[in-house]
Amino acid sequence: MTDIRNEMVGCPKCKASGEAAIYSSVNVTLDPGLKERLINMDLFKFRCPNCENITVLRYGFLYHDMDKRLWIELTSADDSDPEFKMKMKMASAMARKNGYRILVVDNYFLLRDIVLIHEDGLDDLAIVTIKFMKLGQMMKEKNVLYDGGFRDESGNTSLLFRYSNDEKDTIGINVPMDVYSDFVSASRKYLSDKSWVRVDASMASALLDILNSGMDGLDPDN
């Protein structure tokens, strides 16, 4: 179920306070409209009633898609945190019983990327790894968002990315079918002995280590 509460939030610009909707968890199967709000980066936004400044609120959050068997935990907790360990133990039991994909992320932008990747029917860990590999330096400077992907009749995959504050300029990456398939195979092997995965640069590095072939064919199309 979706868990929502209202809290008073201070505006960082004018210091006035206003009421904001805080979503502890979202079930997009029961509340499908919330998925689009998350993808559009609207779900966590707070508009100040005084100066109308928009702030992206940051807090722990659970994304649950029953249809896609997808569970994403947004948290700043590390793996040693007792409460986090208990939550992951419970999530792992559900994953084994119901075939869920349990992922952990530490920022809203990565959560949004994974949701959109699943909407496009692509492999989340494969695409995130390609993003880290090809756009890692850009990601240190700005938030780079996944902006869509599709496969053509030949099976080749085209991926689009953009800066979070730029709706117009996109960064294109063409991924030949065999290269994308290698990433997907590596993703499945990486997941084979895990009940949940923390999606980050370390995960991408580990997945790359699994690949036996070179990375030829990943050419940015700016």
Residues contacting residue 20 through CB under 8 Å, at least 6 positions apart:
6, 7, 8, 9, 46, 57
pLDDT of amino acid 222: 45
| Banded model confidence at residue 166, pLDDT cuts 50, 70, 90 | low
> What would the pLDDT profile of 31-55 be if each residue is shown by its tens digit?
999 999 998 888 999 999 999 999 9
- CA distances to 21, 29, 197 from 61, rounded to whole Å, are 13, 16, 16
* pTM, full prediction: 0.86
Report which of residues 124 and 90 the model is more confident about: 124
| Banded model confidence at residue 135, pLDDT cuts 50, 70, 90 | confident
Instruction: Provide mean pLDDT across the span 47-70.
Output: 93
Cα separation, 133 vs 120, in Å, equals 20
Give the end-to-end CA distance of the chain in Å, rounded to a whole number.
42
168, 152, 126, 187: CA torsion to nearest 10: 170
pLDDT of amino acid 213: 56
Report which of residues 141 and 71 the model is more confident about: 71
pLDDT of amino acid 11: 95
| Banded model confidence at residue 115, pLDDT cuts 50, 70, 90 | very high
Percentage of the chain beyond pLDDT 70 is 92
